[in-house]
Chains A and B, each alone.
Chain A
Amino acid sequence: MNFFGILLGLATLFIIGLGFVWVIRGERYFGYLWWPYVMASGVVLIGWSLFIANPWASALLGALGASLLWGSTELKEQAIRAELGWYPFHVRKIRPPFAATITKWRAPHL
């Protein structure tokens, strides 16, 4: 029996679950305009996983990177959910560097 995949699947489910939490909390206090930074962090983590020899560390880093990548595409919808009152709306948000430029870009959504 090879338990690597089963345990990794469970760990990934936990990472995805954490994704729900940080997308909700992150959007509340920081706003959806951070999406390019979150997306870049995800790409960096996935790239980094290529250079890690330990299979557990590499796989977990890859799953975490993918979760960040997905979360970056989810921030815009979360902002709308908060505007609709489905989640608490926080007026004062910590804006990201170059927020004025990012506002002009269309935030991704899948």
Chain B
Amino acid sequence: MGLNFIGLVAAASTFFGVWFGHVCVRKIESRAKTIWIPTLLFAAAGAILAWISLVTSQLWLSTATGILGFTLLWDALEVTRQQNRVKHGHAAANPANPRHARLLGEYPAATTLNLLEREPLGRPVSPAQAAALVRQRRP
């Protein structure tokens, strides 16, 4: 019996798609001066990949572009969701970015600290403790 690599292609596309959406969208949103440009680029790239998946006759290419296309379309929405996380202090603001600097002034919960940058303690932590724990880890 021969091996079927479609599952592996689907797995790699899914993992890379989620990684890109999770890690790269954060970095791009943190640096972008306006969010509509990355949103538009993600939507366009997603639509192009989805179209390729429709017109190709190769199963592996249809698999990869179909999955990556839809994850990129979702990433277009994630850019706005990431900005909302920054507003609520759930993601670190970049003070060097004028858009984030404005958010830091407008939203009291916004912070330059990444409050997730530590090990779990196994108990609830107050906002002040959370900030102190993250500061302790910084060199």
Contact with B along A48-60 (1 / 0, CB 8 A): 1111110100111
Interface size class of A (residues with CB under 8 A): 35 or more
- Which listed residue (A12, A81, A110) contacts B14, Cβ 8 A? A12
Beyond the given pairs A5-B65, A59-B9, 7 more chain A to chain B contacts, judged by CB atoms under 8 angstroms and listed by A's residue number, are A1-B55, A5-B67, A46-B11, A58-B6, A79-B122, A83-B124, A91-B123
Within 8 Å CB of A83, what residues of B?
Answer: 120-125, 130
Determine if A2 and B54 form an interchain contact, defined as CB atoms under 8 angstroms apart: yes
Q: Size of chain B's interface in residues, with CB distance under 8 A?
A: 51
- Which listed residue (B7, B15, B64, B116) contacts A58, Cβ 8 A? B7
Q: Majority SS of interface residues in chain B?
A: helix
Taking A16-B71, A62-B9 as contacts, is the C-beta distance between A5 and B63 under 8 angstroms?
Answer: yes
- Which listed residue (A51, A70, A77, A80) contacts B1, Cβ 8 A? A51
A84 within 8 A of B: yes
